[in-house]
């Protein structure tokens, strides 16, 4: 039975774009590891792999950068709209009292601006900050409790002093209780 010729282009592409070693690749394709390694060295597969990974990494960074720019622009636009509404509202009541309905609207706009500013700077809202603080405190308490338990396990012996009727001290040694 004749063996199919090896598709070296596919083998190379699998090595360059994948994470397989020469040994794993040779097993997968039923090739001699030495022969595969010699061909790969001769054709510069390792450098091609490095170049490919660099190119993929640069593409990922560019995609992430574009996404961040779009998000920033979206937040900036929303902030600009909210500021414009607030300015219009304030201009309407330059020197006279503002009705409670408009004060409420202004308050909502300022709240939105606060949220947008937090989003722009990556600051979590107050309830999230509170949850984070509580989680940090729980972790700290767990660490302190674990430390206390370790120290408690290391205690060797305890001595108890009892006061007698004649005020003489009675010393009782309870021996090694730590383990």
pLDDT, tens digit only, all 179 positions of the chain: 557 889 999 999 999 999 999 999 999 999 999 999 999 999 999 999 999 999 999 999 999 999 989 988 888 888 888 888 888 877 777 777 878 888 888 888 888 888 877 777 777 877 888 899 999 999 999 999 988 888 877 766 555 656 655 555 455 544 454 44
CA 114 to chain centroid, in Å, comes to 24
Q: Which pLDDT score is estimated for 34?
A: 95
Q: At residue 112, what are phi and psi to the nearest 5 degrees?
A: -65, -40
CB within 8 Å of 45: residues ≥ 6 apart: 12, 15, 16
Instruction: Supply the pLDDT for residue 118.
Output: 79
Tell me whether residue 135 is exposed, middle or buried, using C-beta atoms within 10 angstroms of its C-beta: 0 to 12, 13 to 18, 19 or more: exposed
pLDDT at 106: 82
* Domain boundaries along the sequence of the chain: 8-43, 50-149
Question: Which residue bears the tokens 């021996």?
Answer: 175
Q: What is the pLDDT of residue 9?
A: 95
CB 173 within 8 A of CB 157: yes
Place of tokens 């730590």: 178
Beta partners for 162?
170
At 179 the pLDDT is: 46
């Amino acid at each position: 039975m004749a063996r199919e010729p090896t598709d070296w282009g596919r083998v190379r592409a699998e090595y360059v774009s994948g994470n397989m070693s020469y040994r794993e690749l040779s097993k997968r394709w039923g090739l001699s590891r030495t022969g595969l390694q010699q061909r790969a060295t001769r054709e510069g597969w390792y450098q091609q792999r490095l170049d490919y990974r660099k190119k993929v990494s640069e593409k990922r960074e560019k995609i992430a950068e574009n996404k961040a720019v779009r998000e920033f622009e979206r937040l900036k636009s929303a902030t600009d709209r909210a500021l414009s509404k607030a300015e219009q509202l304030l201009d309407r009541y330059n020197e006279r009292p503002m009705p409670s309905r408009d004060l409420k609207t202004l308050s909502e706009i300022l709240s939105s601006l606060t949220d947008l500013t937090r989003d722009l700077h990556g600051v979590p809202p107050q309830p999230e900050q509170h949850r984070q603080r509580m989680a940090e405190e729980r972790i700290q308490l767990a660490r302190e409790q674990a430390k206390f338990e370790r120290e408690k396990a290391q205690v060797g012996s305890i001595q108890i002093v009892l006061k007698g009727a004649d005020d003489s001290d009675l010393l009782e040694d309870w021996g090694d209780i730590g383990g």
